[in-house]
Amino acid sequence: MTNIKKIGLSALAGSLVATSGFAGALDVTGAAKLTYVSQDETETTGNPYSMSKGITFAGSGDLDNGMTINYSYTMSDAAFSASSLKLDMGDMGVASFGSESSPHGINAYQDKMPTAGEEVWDDLDGQANGIATIEDAGILGYGNSIGDIGVSISYQPGGTGMSESSKSGVVSYDGVEGVSLFLGMGDKAGASVNTGTDLMTMGGTYTAGAITAGLQLTDTDVSAVNGDNERLHAAVSFAVNENMSVSFGMSTVEFENTAKVDQEDSGFAVSYTMGSMTVAAFANASDNVGGTSGTDDSVKEVSIAFAF
């Protein structure tokens, strides 16, 4: 019996040694951000100062067939934020699985307009209007490029409160210097059969020197009567130097319901990076939130972030 134990322990030790040869590296990075937020005067926000902390674990390893596996897990304020697993197959593309993270599909193209900070609709009451996105809890993805044409697709097999799967695909083109174009389509599942939302977004950016300008059109077609809306978004950014950038953008959301007026959003942003420190500020405003005339909202934010 003693000899059997020794053989078993020797085999276990040998397997552990062999396995360790395939172990990849696991890196840890962090960030701390101090923020001051000023909301619309009609909103009660309490203390305008806050600090957020983030930790990201990232690992990678090579497979015997030349492929590479990459993993990341992000925590915000000690709570789960997002995770992703990506298999880089070289010329055959990249396959992914993400939780609260969508490297592929229409979610990655919900707003491709140039900005030095946040999107012009971010942190406003009507930010969800006219945005093409599907649930990203447990989402499969794939991306590849052939020459100047890229393909990015995603599949979400059914989330909380959804009766069907959601799917999307995007085709992009970068064949002209300074120009980037994209067209995306998606089918977002609803709470019951045939209550989903058809998504479409298309647009492009053009970069000339330090200036980048962009235009994007997004259409959401829901099953409910008079529930469709369409967002037209334009933005421009300017790189003052290698450390500082400024941007301005505006968007208009048009509602199918004739009882509603257009929602108009606008935003200005600036950021300055010095080593591991980034100082940023943005000011967003919205008129006729949700299509209700006279219902406005605004937000201003100043932050200083450190990466470790």
Q: Which range in 33-42, 160-169, 198-207 is most confidently predicted, on average pLDDT? A: 198-207
Average pLDDT over residues 72-82: 88
192 vs 5, more confident:
192
Instruction: Give how far Cα 18 sits from Cα of 12, 65, 155, Å.
Output: 10, 18, 37
Domains plus CATH for the chain?
Answer: 32-53+102-307 (2.40.160.10)
Asked if residue 14 has pLDDT above 90, the reply is no
Q: What is the pLDDT of residue 24?
A: 60
Place of tokens 């994007």: 216
Alpha-carbon distance 236 to 296, whole Å?
Answer: 24
Asked if residue 198 has pLDDT above 80, the reply is yes
- For the stretch 247-300, pLDDT in tens is 999 999 999 999 999 999 999 999 999 999 999 999 999 999 999 999 999 999
- For the stretch 140-187, pLDDT in tens is 999 999 999 999 999 988 766 667 889 999 999 999 999 999 999 999
Q: What is the mean pLDDT of the chain?
A: 88
Is the entire prediction scored with pTM above 0.95?
A: no
Three-state DSSP class for 136?
coil
Find the radius of gyration of the CA atoms of the chain: 23
